[in-house]
Amino acid sequence: MYSILLVDDETAVLDKLSHSIAWEEFGFERVDKAVSGFQALDMLATHPYDILITDIKMPGMDGITLLRNVRRLYSRVRCILLTAFDDFAYVRDALRLGADNYLLKPINNAELASSLTTSLENLTRSQEDTVAAMGTIPDSETYRHNVLGRWLYGELSGYELSEHAKMADINVFCHYYCTLIVKPLNRSSSFSKSVQKIAKLLQESFDEVYEMMELPNHHIFILGDQDINVETVQKLLFSLFPVNSPPSVFIAIGSVVSQNSDLPVSFKRADRIAQSSMLFAPDQVVVTGAEPATQIPVIDLSPYLSAPSDEDADAMLPALLDDLLQHTGSPLYTGKALISEVLLNVSRYLEKELPATDEIRPFIEESFSNVESSTTQTELRRQLIEILQHARGYLTKKQQNYSPIIKRTLQYIEAHYASPLSLKQISQIFSVNAAYLGYLFKHETQLYFFEYVNLYRIKQAEQLLLSTGQTIAVIASKVGFSDANYFNQCFKKSYGMTPSKYRQLNKQS
C-alpha cells in the first residue's frame, strides 16, 4: 500500500483534490494534505511518502524549492506538479528536477489517474532509471518521445496535449496529420538505411515530421502539414525504390485526420494495415494506405485460451481450427498471414495475462520463424495447433503458480468487477493484511491491483461496445467505472482510441 502527500496553499483546492478520485483503487492507504512547502517538509521528515503532488506557486516556499529539497533529502519520492497556464518557466525547472508530470488546473481526473499510474511504475524501477539528484537533467529526446507516444496512443488531448507539446517542441496545430509505419520485409541490414532515406524525403516534403521507434524494427512517422493526402504520400515514397530491385520495406499509411485528437485513429489504421503485410504479394515494394482485399477474420481466441479445464479446451479446438483454417488457401502466403495474425493475437493475449519471462519470447520468435518457413498447408495447420496448445500451456502454468489468496482475489474480481473494489476491502473480506496482499498481488500478477481491475473491466466493456447499443456512460458504469472520463482514458490507453471510435470502426468492418 502507498501513501501520498498533497500540497497547495488553497484549502479548497486541497479538499477537491483529495476527493477527486478513488485513491484506494490505486493502492493508496494514506492521503495527507499540507498547506505550505514548509509543512510538507516537516511531514516528509516523519513519514516515508511515496508520491508528492504540489502546486508550483505558493507563498514562502514555492513548489520548485520544495521539489529541490525533496530531491536532495528524499530522492525516492515521485513528484507531480500542479500548474496554471502562466507557470511554464517553472515547469521547465520542475522537469529538469525529475518531476514525473505536471497537471493543469483545474485538474482533469483522467489525467491525474494516468500520472499516478506513471509515478507508481517509476517507483518500481531501478535507481538508475529515475532522476535521483538535484541538477540531473532528463534527456529532452526521452521526454519528447514520451509525449509523442502518449499522443499517438490517445493518452494526451486538449489542453494537456498542447501544453506538453509546447514543452517538447511539437507542433499539434497543423491542418492535417497522418501516421506511417515502416517495417522490414526481410532480415536485411539495409532496413536502417531505408528508414534514413524515408526520413530525409519526408522532412523535405512536409512541414512537420516526427519519428519514433516504438516496436522492434517498426519505425513510426507522424506527418503534419497544411495539406496531406494518401495518394501523394504513396507516390512520394515509391520514388525512393527502384522498380526492379528486391523489396526491403513495407510502409503502411494511416488515414489522414484533421484534428490532433484523432491521431490515434490514423495510427490504429496504419497498425492494422502493417499487421496484414503478409497478405500483400511478397514480390513488390508495398506502400499502401488501403487494407488488402483479402481480410483476416476477427476470431476471439480468449474462450479457448482461458477455458477452465483442459477437457473444455480440447472440446473447443476442432471448431476453432475450422473457423480459422477455412480462410486459408492459395496462395500460401495468405495462409501464412492468417497464422501470423493468430500468433500476434496470442502474443498480445499472453503479454496482458502473463509476466514477462524468458520462456515466452523465444516461443513467439520460434513460432514466427516456423510459420515463415512452412511450405504446405499441412505444415501451417500443425503450426497453428502447436501455437494454440503452447499458449494455453503457459496460461495454465501461470494459474497453477498463483498462491491460494491471489486465486481467491482474482475470482472475487471476476465476480464483483462491476462494483467498487479496493485492496483494503478485499483484504478485510479475506482477513489478510492489505499491504501484504498488495505486495503479493503485484509480485504474482506483475500488475498493480488497480491496473488488473481496470484491464479486466475494459475487456468486459469491449464486449458490450460491440454487442449492444448502450451509451458509453452506461457501459462505463456497468463495468465498474464511476467516472466516464477515466473510463475513456483507460480504454484509449489499451486500444489507442476512444470507446465510441472503437465501436464505430469495428462495426464498419
* Mean pLDDT across 440-466: 86
Cα separation, 239 vs 435, in Å, equals 60
Task: Give the pLDDT confidence score for residue 399 in this predicted structure.
Answer: 66
Cα torsion 114, 116, 120, 121 to 10°: value is 20
* % of the chain residues with pLDDT over 90: 18
Task: Give the pLDDT confidence score for residue 53 in this predicted structure.
Answer: 95
Amino acid at 309: S
Task: Give the pLDDT confidence score for residue 85 in this predicted structure.
Answer: 59
CB distance 197 to 249 below 8 Å: no
Q: 387-410, pLDDT tens digit by residue?
A: 888 888 877 776 667 788 888 898
CB distance 61 to 9 below 8 Å: no
Would you say residue 277 has pLDDT above 90? no
Grid cell locating 502: 472503437
Task: Give the pLDDT confidence score for residue 201 in this predicted structure.
Answer: 93
Task: Give the pLDDT confidence score for residue 186 in this predicted structure.
Answer: 62
List of E strands, 226-285: 249-253
Cα separation, 454 vs 490, in Å, equals 7
Q: 20-76, pLDDT tens digit by residue?
A: 888 877 778 899 999 999 999 999 988 989 999 999 888 889 888 998 888 888 878
Task: Give the pLDDT confidence score for residue 128 in this predicted structure.
Answer: 36
| β-pair type (101-104, 286-288) | unpaired
Q: 282-335, pLDDT tens digit by residue?
A: 544 455 555 554 455 556 777 888 777 778 888 888 888 877 777 555 567 667
Question: Among candidates 250, 275, 252, which has minimal Cα distance to 342?
Answer: 275
Task: Give the pLDDT confidence score for residue 217 in this predicted structure.
Answer: 62
Would you say residue 415 has pLDDT above 60? yes
Would you say residue 412 has pLDDT above 60? yes
- Domains (range + CATH), the chain: 2-138 (3.40.50.2300), 166-288 (3.30.70.270), 302-401 (no CATH), 404-508 (1.10.10.60)
Confidence band, pLDDT 50/70/90 cuts, at residue 126: very low
* Mean pLDDT across 497-509: 76
Least confident window among 123-132, 252-261, 491-500: 123-132
Question: Among candidates 456, 454, 458, 453, which has minimal Cα distance to 499?
Answer: 458
Residue 307 sits at φ, ψ, to 5 deg, of: -55, 140
Would you say residue 131 has pLDDT above 60? no
DSSP structural state of residue 262 = G
* Mean pLDDT across 376-395: 84
Would you say residue 133 has pLDDT above 50? no
* Mean pLDDT across 484-490: 84
Task: Give the pLDDT confidence score for residue 123 in this predicted structure.
Answer: 72
* Mean pLDDT across 406-423: 90
Task: Give the pLDDT confidence score for residue 111 in this predicted structure.
Answer: 78
| β-pair type (28-34, 78-83) | unpaired
Task: Give the pLDDT confidence score for residue 222 in this predicted structure.
Answer: 96
Task: Give the pLDDT confidence score for residue 221 in this predicted structure.
Answer: 95
Q: What is the mean pLDDT of the chain?
A: 79
Q: Taking every pair of C-alpha atoms in the chain, what is the biggest distance, in angstroms?
A: 76
Task: Give the pLDDT confidence score for residue 297 in this predicted structure.
Answer: 54
331 prior amide bond cis, ω within 30: yes
Task: Give the pLDDT confidence score for residue 75 in this predicted structure.
Answer: 78
Grid cell locating 349: 493475449
The residue count of the chain comes to 509
Element at 353 (helix H, strand E): helix 332-353
Grid cell locating 31: 492521503
Would you say residue 347 has pLDDT above 60? yes
Q: 426-437, pLDDT tens digit by residue?
A: 988 988 887 788
Q: 181-225, pLDDT tens digit by residue?
A: 988 766 556 778 888 899 999 999 999 999 987 555 678 999 999
Task: Give the pLDDT confidence score for residue 106 in this predicted structure.
Answer: 80
Cα separation, 178 vs 32, in Å, equals 45
Task: Give the pLDDT confidence score for residue 192 in this predicted structure.
Answer: 80
